[in-house]
Structure 1
Amino acid sequence: MEILKESGWNFADGVPVAWLGRRKSGLHGFGCTRGPSTFVQTLHDSVDVACVSHFFIGSSDESLKEMLRVIERDFPGVRVAGAFSPPFGPVSESLIDECEQRIKSSGASLVWVALGTPKQDFFTDVLSRRVNLPCAGVGAAFDFLSGSVKEAPSFLRGTGVEWLYRLAAEPQRLWRRYTFGTARFLFAVARDGGLFSRGSAPEARE
């Protein structure tokens, strides 16, 4: 939680979090920002933009290579500074050192990290300080774009039940995350006053 508090930007990549944010803040514009959608939109917006070059960290070698092929095909003109699939396991000092060296030597201006939560949260926090660049954690975005993992249909996104689709698609990998993660989220909501305590929008300063 402290890492999230200290990060430069936090986005509600989940409809329940956005719902709670609107309820607690009173801000009706508090919406959900999906990591995979933001990732694809940024690729689209950076086509032929010379000052933006991307570095990708995460996923498997095979999925990462396929994603790069998709980017070359669907987003011609996007500058790719580099890509790296780290070994499976906890984040180590040597791994961070290696990624730092790769990024600095690549000339990248934007780093995307797809290692899953909470691993990518710790990783991006440390790495962004080391390389002095924006580092964005985007979960399964690489696997979605490569096609190695099927993304939920568009009509399910933003409904609050996209997680059920993902759980059905990858039950062995995700059941623990969604079971215990949801329980921790609900406990935190209850401890903070629950969904029934409403906030009010901040008043504009004169």
Structure 2
Amino acid sequence: MTPVGDRTATGTAAVPVVSCLGVPVTAHTREGAARRVVHRALHLRDTREAHRTGDAEEAVAPEGSDVHLCNAYTLALGDRDPDLLRTLRQAFLNLADGQPVVWANQLLHRGTALPRRRVYGPDLMLDVLSMSQGTGLRHYLLGSTPEVLSALQREVRRRFPRALIAGACSPPFRSLTAQELREQEEDIRARGADIVWVGLGTPLQDHRAAELSAALPVVTVAVGAAFDFIAGNKRQAPAWMQNGGLEWMFRLACEPRRMWRRYLFGNARFVGGVVRQAALRTSPGASAPTGRPSDAGAALVGRRERTR
């Protein structure tokens, strides 16, 4: 992965943003997504510093930016959960984490040039860690268990010796009090974090990433099981299964009691939502809203993001 050598975005190529079950998904390549995260974090850091020194042109300090890795399960949850759908629709950046999401977008938006491969959460995290070496960007790890976080930090230091880990937090496996949430935010702020990796499980991690980015001028990335995979706590599916959209089958075989409901009902709802959206697009009366989440976001089709 090519490191980021300066603070300016490379090029001004437009990146398509397409709607999948009502969620705007930016069609970045793997490298493009990593560069987007790094450049955004550098921009926010520079803006924070300008406000601190009084050199900023804007009177209001910047808000952070939340990034979400969307697989079929995430989008299926959003299809029935208005709060999650709202979080994703208001996000700074949504990426296609699942290969079935990539295929669905290709089916639904045939006239748009889209990448053929997903942006896999663990790959994105590794790429950003690699690119951020030498930039001074500081990473914060939020989620999982103390044991996994320790193993993750050791692995990051081994692979990326110049990557800066500002801190880590393993919150209790329960709802946090308002005071605990404030203390969490203050710890992130005090440690000077620029990128916060949130591994709390969907949909909690998506909501928390959005909350943190609203409270702090940092980039937050809801990254799923990346902590476990990179730390070596869980096995990843073979590449051929990942590329063939069969990762869910591998994870189901590894954790049947935890995953069966997620994949049985989640996959069915995702497929149903894609079929419904496809039917709406081809129907003569497609302009009439139906009120379903997966029918929302028609105005997003054809929208394009310009890299900064």
1:63 aligns with 2:126: no
Separation (CA, whole Å) in 1 of partners of 2:134 and 2:139: 12
Q: From 90, 93, 99, give the equivalent of 2:184.
A: 99
8 Å contact kept, 1:167–1:174: yes
1:194 is displaced (CA, Å) by 4.8
Partner residue in 2 for 1:86? 171
Structure 1: stretches of 5+ with no match in the other structure: none
What is the identity percentage for the equivalent residue pairs of Structure 1 and Structure 2?
37
SS at match of 2:186: helix
Q: Pick one of 233, 237, 259 that aligns with 1:148.
A: 233
Structure 2 residue 87 is the aligned partner of structure 1 residue 6: no
Q: Does the CA-based 8 Å contact 1:53-1:80 persist in structure 2?
A: yes
Q: Secondary structure at the match of 2:154?
A: helix
Higher-RCO chain (CA-CA 8 Å, sequence separation at least 6): 2
Task: With the length of structure 2 as denominator, give the TM-score of the two structures.
Answer: 0.61
Compare 22-31 and 158-167 and name the one that shifted more. 22-31
Question: Secondary structure of 2:165's match?
Answer: strand
Q: Distance in 2 between matches of 1:28 and 1:158?
A: 19
2:228 pairs with 1:158:
no
Kindly indicate whether the alpha-carbon contact (under 8 Å) linking 1:24 and 1:197 is maintained by their aligned counterparts in 2: no
Residue number in structure 2 paired with 1:138: 223
Q: Deviations over 1:30-80 (max 9, x none)?
A: 441111110111111122322x11001011110111111111112101101
Counterpart residue identity of residue 72, structure 1: R
RMSD between aligned residues: 2.4
- Aligned AA for 2:164? R
Larger Rg: 2
Aligned pairs, how many?
Answer: 202
Q: Distance in 2 between matches of 1:155 and 1:91?
A: 39
Deviation for aligned residue 1:196? 8.8
Which residue of 1 is the match for residue 121 of structure 2? 35
CA distance in 1, matches of 2:235, 2:263: 18
Aligned residue identity for 1:58: G
Q: Write out per-residue CA displacement over residues 14-43 of structure 1, whole angstroms, 9 at most, x where no aligned residue.
A: 111111112222223244111111011111
CA distance in 1: counterparts of 2:121 and 2:171, whole angstroms? 20
Partner of 1:22: 106
Matched, 1:117 2:169: no
Q: Extract unaligned runs of 5+ from structure 2.
A: 1-84, 284-297
Task: Tell me, in whole angstroms, the C-alpha distance in 1 between the residues paired with 2:236 and 2:271.
Answer: 25
Deviation at 1:137, TM superposition (A): 0.7
Say if 2:254 is the partner of 1:180: no
* Corresponding position: 1:170 with 2:262: no
What CA distance in whole angstroms lies between the structure 1 residues aligned with 2:211 and 2:134? 30
Counterpart in 1 of 2:134?
48
> When you count strand as a share of all residues, which structure comes out higher?
2
Q: Could you state the TM-score of these two structures normalised by the residue count of structure 1?
A: 0.89
CA distance in 2, matches of 1:12, 1:129: 23
Partners of 1:152 and 1:107 in 2: CA distance: 35
User: How far has the Cα of 1:91 moved from its partner?
Assistant: 5.5
Q: What is the CA–CA distance in structure 1 between the aligned matches of 2:276 and 2:191, rounded to whole Å?
A: 45
Please state how far the C-alpha of 1:93 moved relative to its aligned partner.
Answer: 3.1
Match of 2:42 in 1: none
- What is the CA-CA distance between 1:100 and the residue it aligns to? 0.7
